[in-house]
Amino acid sequence: MMRSGRHSAILEIIAKQEIETQEELCAELNKRNYSVTQATVSRDIKELRLFKVAGSEKKYKYAYIDEGSNKISPRMHNLFRESVLSIRPALNQVVIKTLRGNGSNAGMIVDKLNLPEIVGSIAGDDTLLIVTESSEDARTVEEKLNKFLK
């Protein structure tokens, strides 16, 4: 019961203000009478699947997208469109360049697309590397992702 209340409080906090660090989130929760440690907040962040996006006041902020099951919400679609700079095939791979700090966000969204041509992917700070079986599959993935961008 305490955890679900804390999770609701976390989602409310990050919806209303830019929270950049776990320590800031701990402080905000403590202000609301939730006695938490950084380790607890770290687990909560994982369970809620929070991620960081560029902030307007701070460099980064925590964000959350209510994704329901495995569907791509309009917010996720917009996040992908706004963060992807380029999509390029390279042999049996596809390289997606993103704004700094958005490689893993792009990876999460691409994973949700469940494209059958994708064998796996690895995300970095500003790059997502997608591996396919063949060059043809890589071109197909590029085409599908470019359509998804529109």
Residue 114 Cα to chain centre, angstroms: 16
Mapped onto helix, strand or coil, the DSSP state of residue 3 is helix
Taking the whole predicted model, whether its pTM rises above 0.75 is answered as no
pLDDT of 19 > 70? The answer is yes
For 68: left if phi > 0, alpha if psi spans -120 to 50, otherwise beta; the answer is left
- Which residue ranges form the domains of the chain, and what is each CATH number? 2-63 (1.10.10.10), 74-149 (3.30.1360.40)
Predicted pLDDT of residue 49? 80
Amino acid code (one letter) for 95: V
Is residue 67's pLDDT more than 80? no
User: Which pLDDT tens digit goes with each residue over 93-116?
Assistant: 999 999 998 998 899 889 888 899
